[in-house]
Amino acid sequence: MSDALLNVEDLRVSFRTDDGIVRAVDGISYAVGEGKTLGIVGESGSGKTVSSLTTLGLTRSRGSDISGRIMFGGQDLVAMSDEKLRTIRGNDVAMIFQDPLSALHPFYKVGWQLVEAMQAHGSISRKAARSRAGELLQLVGIPDPQRRVDQFPHEFSGGMRQRVMIAMALANEPKLLIADEPTTALDVTVQAQILALLNDLQNRLGTAIIIITHDLGVVAEVADDIAVMYAGRIVERGTAQEIFNEPQHPYAWGLLKSIPRLDSPRGEELVPISGRPPSLINRPSGCHFHPRCPYVQDSHKQIDPRLEPVASGQSHAAACLLEPSVRQRIWRGLREGRDLESLQRLAASSNGQAGGTSGAPPAPATASSTPPSGAAPQEPS
Amino acid sequence: MSSTLIEVRDLVKHFPIKRGILIQRQIGAVKAVDGISFDVSEGETLGIVGETGCGKSTTARLLCRLMDPTSGSVTFDGRDVLAQKKDDLKALHRQMQMVFQDPYSSLNPRKTVGSIIADPFVIHNLHTGKDERKRKVQELMDRVGLNPEHYNRYPHEFSGGQRQRIGVARAVALEPKLLIADEPVSALDVSIQAQVLNLLRELQRDLGLTLIFIAHDLSVVRHMCDRVAVMYLGKIVEMAPGDELYHEPRHPYTGALLSAVPVADPSGGKRERQLLSGDVPSPANPPSACRFHTRCPKAQELCSQDEPLLEVKRPGATGVAACHYPLTDEEIRLQLPAALTRDGRQPAAASSPAGASGEASSASSSSSST
């Protein structure tokens, strides 16, 4: 992926705290191509926000250790000096934050804040910047922009504030836009407006976008590629189609099966992920997901899986110790609504005959394995 | 299937807007809830959906009489909730309990979990023996999936999902008939939401609870509810059995809501998005007549002059919608996510032989659509 706009290689970020070292991001690699959208999905505390803040140099502090490389336009953002990074931040790479109310300064008019963003990065006259501020507000769909530039953030509604944030991020025509939970604080109709706006702007301006969210629906709508994060690592990576149609990691299955979906049969039982996200100070041994994984085998508690391609030469990769063919069978079973026990047996049986079955044809596998106990639905008690 | 448990008629709540320091005079009112009526049968789950500020949480509080309405009536189990005196109200609250949105602020941080869950017993003077009370509380903790040994811990020692379980345990302690859950999962992580949703359904089945489930997430409401009411600016604009509402919405607002939901399927999301322009108007100064007419793609002159009533919009349907120009079948087909329009029931039946079909049918038997 030499043509990628942003290339993150083995990025590690840890924070020294009184309780111990928090390994927020632990060796992640990803790339974003020009004009593409990458979705990063994960729960709170999975390191998704820290990884993108690091791209902008916003996690640099005395208590943090950052290693790895973030290549952007031929330069390494990790090694770059603060002064140099400042010319890139808000200029070539811009960010939209989750909470637009706290990301805008309450004492300054919106227009002033937009002008400031432009003047910080280019020699643009105040007057030109002001008229461009109006244009930007128009671009993001704020009605009556000439009047709105002279208003304060509190005079805007939540959705409008988020539009202002997007306008500000776009002020210097960035090549890369990082959107951290841009719609989480918004209502669904407004969320749809903002996503449509991002999509439209991307088509017109060719901006690459990294969208960070916990909402699988949102990434399915906008992302070309998806990275699923858990406990500071990327546990699965692939195109949106691959992640949603052939997910490989039990955590990704958990996420997909635990949300009620409009397109799933009504009344279908949700399959929650048991337990809760691990502490990033004392992470579980072996596969970090093993305490919550229903298909865990003894060996998984010792071996730390690496992110490996599902099939050789593919970009779709997962960090899971189960055999790819077994994973495929389990996911099929999950989709058919098979009960958990038979799937767990499937995982256990494959553990014994380890290796060598990765090329097995998947179609007969589902037919030959234990049939679903059709008549007796799995009733939780 | 069974008798009506709660009956709401023309419920109105206006919050006054006042000006002046010493001599305050009212200069207007926020019309949070402005004339809503509905019934909930015993054992049924009614969902209330709507965007921020549509009055759904206010409705919840009015039903429990945590707030006094401006006008209207609420009849619970044959008794007029609004006429109850203080002591009677206490007895009434034994029958109706609430689960709150924020598991962080709805639990007293200075009390142990044991005493939080025991509070309803203290208030109603039940299970007075010390050992008996403890045993009862531990039973409840076990019931909602908490470790009974954590009896003496404080709320901060629990995660968000566990705290919500504490809130649920407290709410079901008195074995109420009605449980009102106000956004019970919106503060939780995705992987935890399902745990709490499953718990609520399980309790409903086992205890025969009637549930009023308030949420802004349409997928969650569809999963949980037999019947759904859609609110907009203090009014119910559409109310229908779950399947009918999601497959054949008649109100343009419902259609737009469904159209806006992101669907977790990269290939199935292709549809003509019905994007609403602008934001929800202020409830202090709502638009005249049909309140949705300022944002409605189908609005005509009539909509700003004559207020539509909740009516059945198609012969044979049980749902009602308040609209002069309801959506046509063709519009529904264009706007909705593919999964809902190509009759989502067909692939559903084929793909879940084991699922929870038994449970689904029992939950929705009262409202099965076709």
What does the pLDDT look like over A287-309, one tens digit per residue?
Answer: 999 999 999 888 899 888 989 89
Share of chain B above pLDDT 90, in %: 45
Cross-chain Cβ contact B264/A196 below 8 Å: no
CB neighbourhood size of B370 (10 A): 7
Q: What is the pLDDT of residue A352?
A: 52
Cross-chain Cβ contact A265/B349 below 8 Å: yes
pLDDT at A53 over 50: yes
CB < 8 Å to B50, chain A: none
**Amino acid (1-letter code) at residue A256:** L
Q: What is the mean pLDDT of chain A?
A: 84
Q: What is the pLDDT of residue B352?
A: 37
Q: What is the CA radius of gyration of chain A?
A: 23
What does the pLDDT look like over A314-363, one tens digit per residue?
Answer: 889 999 999 888 998 899 888 887 888 888 888 887 665 444 334 333 33
CA distance linking residue A267 with residue A290, whole number of Å: 29
The residue of chain A with its CA nearest to that of B349 is A265
Q: What is the pLDDT of residue B339?
A: 67
* Residue whose token pair is 């809830």: B33
CA distance linking residue A138 with residue A119, whole number of Å: 19
The length of chain A, given as a count of residues = 381
- ipTM comes to 0.75
For chain A positions 254-293, those within 8 Å of chain B (CB to CB) are 254-256, 258-274, 276-277
Q: What is the pLDDT of residue B45?
A: 94
Residue A334's alpha-carbon distances to A343, B101, B144, in angstroms, are 8, 31, 26
Residue B198 main-chain phi, psi, to 5 deg: -60, -40
User: B275 to chain A, minimum CA–CA distance in Å?
Assistant: 6
Q: Is A2 exposed, middle or buried (0-12, 13-18, 19+ CB in 10 A)?
A: exposed
| Burial state string for B211-229 with b = 16 or more CB within 10 A and e = fewer than 16 | bbbbbbbbbbbbbbbbbbb
User: A9 to chain B, minimum CA–CA distance in Å?
Assistant: 27
Cross-chain Cβ contact A377/B219 below 8 Å: no
Q: What is the pLDDT of residue B2?
A: 64
pLDDT at B147 over 60: yes
Q: What is the mean pLDDT of chain B?
A: 85
Identify the band that residue B230 occupies on the pLDDT scale cut at 50, 70 and 90.
Answer: very high
CB < 8 Å to A377, chain B: 354-359
For chain A positions 192-231, those within 8 Å of chain B (CB to CB) are 192-193, 195-196, 214-218, 220-221, 223
Nearest by CB to B51, from A187, A267, A380: name it: A187
Nearest by CB to A157, from B262, B269, B279: name it: B279
Alpha helices in chain B (DSSP H): 56-63, 86-93, 113-124, 130-143, 160-172, 190-207, 218-224, 242-247, 252-260, 329-335, 338-341, 345-351, 357-364
Identify the band that residue B11 occupies on the pLDDT scale cut at 50, 70 and 90.
Answer: very high
